Amino acid sequence: MATTSSDAPALAPLTGQVAIVTGAGGGGCGTAIAVALAGAGARVAVNGMEHHRARLEELTRSCPGGALHPSIADVADGEQVERMVDEVARRLGTPTIVVHNAGPSLPPRRITQLPASHWRAETAVILDGAYHLARATAAGMTEKGHGRFVFISSNTAFRGGRGRSASYAAAKAGLHGLAAQLALELGPAGITCNVVAPSQIDTPRARRGGRRDDDSMRRSAAQVPLGRVGSADDIAGVVTFLAGPSAAYLTGQVIRVDGGSALAPPATALAQESA
């Protein structure tokens, strides 16, 4: 019996797409995003610094089908980003999905103790990195007539954050303005640009150096309407949606993936009706 079109297996939604995911070597959101995009059919360049090489190579070996490919570059350096994009294009094809998740691991400093070197380091990776990536990939996406930018921000961009520096908050907020401008400029070419703003995500980075532990995570969960802190997979799922065809008419948006923690805190209760 001849096979009809309805009998043919459905293609994964990102089949034929090439993605770059920055900050993918830490085992947190970047790693989960890369794996999720590969699972949806994309070929993914997983980016990190030289000291992430071993972890990136291990990640690529653990992902079936050879869908992940290590890509070493410092996103704060525009020339390194251009070389990375050129290499990805040669090996995998023109990048049509860019997810910028990278951020340096720096201890928080109050503004009076915040040196210029710290400010520059955070803004260079987070905000300048997004600029370098957009500048290096937008022409290829335009030629393809299709593209997706997703920048990973933070609820800190809206309200500040204890345990964060002003440079982090400012750089993350800057992603929102950059995304809006890119959405405006690149929309006619079929390119979207959106921001994902997580809060209270349990990752290895959050727990590094004893910064967070099980008790502090439970206290955070008590402040979240959904009753738990988020996982890297929660972020990866939203990013994969934004990278796919179902989000084709969604651009210039900031999506807060926070379990509702931006809403009124649990201590704010409705007044009891008088008897």
The catalytic site residues sit at: 168
The candidate with the shortest Cα–Cα distance to 243, out of 189, 194, 176, is 194
**Per-position b or e across 31-61, b if 16+ CB within 10 A of its CB:** bbbbbbbbbbbbbbbbbbbeebeebbeebbe
Contact present, 226 and 260 (Cβ < 8 Å): yes
Count of CA atoms in the C-beta half-sphere (13 A) of 56 = 23
DSSP state of 249: T
Question: Which residues on neighbouring strands pair with residue 21, listed in sequence order?
Answer: 46, 99
Residue with tokens 């400010």: 119
Report the alpha-carbon distance of residue 17 to residue 270 in Å, rounded.
Answer: 48
Report yes or no: 266 and 222 within 8 Å, Cβ to Cβ: yes
Strand partners, 197: 256
Cα–Cα distance for residue pair 244/175, rounded to 1 Å: 21
